């Protein structure tokens, strides 16, 4: 149990990769502070975590882009568990539109969730991580090294998150805090279904699957195992890395058109 006794905040943990990370962390012995916008989904994830052996689970339902909610999340986690060892900035949204047609509202929302929220949540958590010699893991995307048509703003936001990872790792290294990111490939979740029709979402999934050399999609739990490794002492000499876990997709596919 590589995370036994560690206290982890996981954002966007009500579904998809975040839910997978939560269950894996539960199996690895962590105490969990989970957050998302869907209370019913979060409560189901809590039950899954308890079945996996974790009885110490706190949930906060709210919008991670709001400063007041971020402060509540950090304060309640510290009050409940007495410390914070790990921050997983997993919450994210996607969207498809060309750069020349993207609206200001679309741009602002993408950057608020995918960049601004992780930056300012990390600022709040950083003093606690310095105290525990903890670490941060950010969920980025393999698309930062590819051309994904009509996803320029989304890819820009994830590229910014990769840069944030490197710079923060450099800033906090002397204080014993590590910072890394994962860059997943095709993981079947509902993130694209929220911005595409079913036919469009199915077609994109087929395109990504066909372009993935390993020949299949990943599961949220597989991403969870990688995050758990990066968050554990097994990765004590790893910081500033963007860990690509995409089944070879970005290695062989510079453009997915």
Residues annotated catalytic, as ranges: 154
70's torsion region: left (phi>0), alpha (psi -120 to 50) or beta? alpha
Task: Give the bridge partners for 68, in sequence order.
Answer: none
Give the distance, in angstroms, between the CA of residue 222 and the centroid of all CA atoms in the same chain.
13
Determine how many CB atoms are found less than 10 A away from the CB of residue 48. 16
Which letter, b or e, does each residue of 105-122 get, where b requires 16 or more Cβ atoms within 10 Å of its Cβ? ebbeebbbbbbbbbeebb
Is the CB of residue 69 less than 8 Å from the CB of residue 63? yes
| Eight-state DSSP code of residue 66 | S
Distance (Å, whole) CA 39 – CA 209: 31
List of residues 6+ apart from 129 with CB closer than 8 A: 84, 85, 86, 87, 135, 136, 172, 177
3-state DSSP call for residue 34?
A: strand
Q: In what order do the strands lie in the sheet with 7-10?
A: 57-61, 31-36, 7-10, 86-89, 135-139, 178-184, 242-245
Q: Which two tokens stand for residue 239?
A: 């910081």
Distance (Å, whole) CA 182 – CA 216: 18
């Amino acid at each position: 149990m590589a995370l036994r006794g560690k206290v982890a905040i996981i954002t966007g943990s009500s579904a998809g990769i975040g839910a997978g990370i939560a269950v894996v962390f539960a199996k690895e012995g962590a105490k969990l502070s989970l957050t998302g916008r869907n209370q019913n989904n979060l409560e189901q994830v809590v039950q899954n975590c308890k079945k996996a052996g974790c009885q110490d689970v706190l949930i906060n339902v709210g919008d991670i882009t709001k400063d007041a909610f971020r402060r509540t999340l950090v304060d309640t986690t510290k009050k409940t568990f007495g410390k914070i060892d790990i921050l997983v900035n997993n919450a994210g949204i996607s969207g498809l539109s060309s750069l020349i047609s993207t609206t200001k509202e679309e741009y602002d929302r993408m950057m608020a969730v995918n960049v601004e929220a992780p930056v300012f949540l990390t600022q709040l958590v950083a003093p606690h991580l310095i105290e525990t010699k903890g670490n941060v893991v950010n969920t980025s995307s393999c698309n930062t090294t590819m051309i994904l048509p009509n996803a320029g703003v989304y890819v820009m936001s994830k590229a910014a998150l990769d840069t944030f990872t490197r710079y923060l790792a450099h800033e906090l290294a002397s204080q014993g805090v590590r910072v890394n990111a994962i860059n997943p490939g095709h993981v079947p979740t509902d993130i694209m279904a929220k911005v595409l029709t079913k036919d469009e979402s199915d077609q994109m999934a087929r395109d990504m699957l066909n372009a993935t050399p390993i020949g299949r999609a990943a599961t949220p739990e597989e991403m969870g195992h990688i995050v758990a490794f990066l968050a554990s002492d097994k990765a004590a000499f790893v910081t500033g890395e963007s860990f690509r876990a995409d089944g070879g997709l970005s290695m062989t596919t510079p453009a997915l058109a």
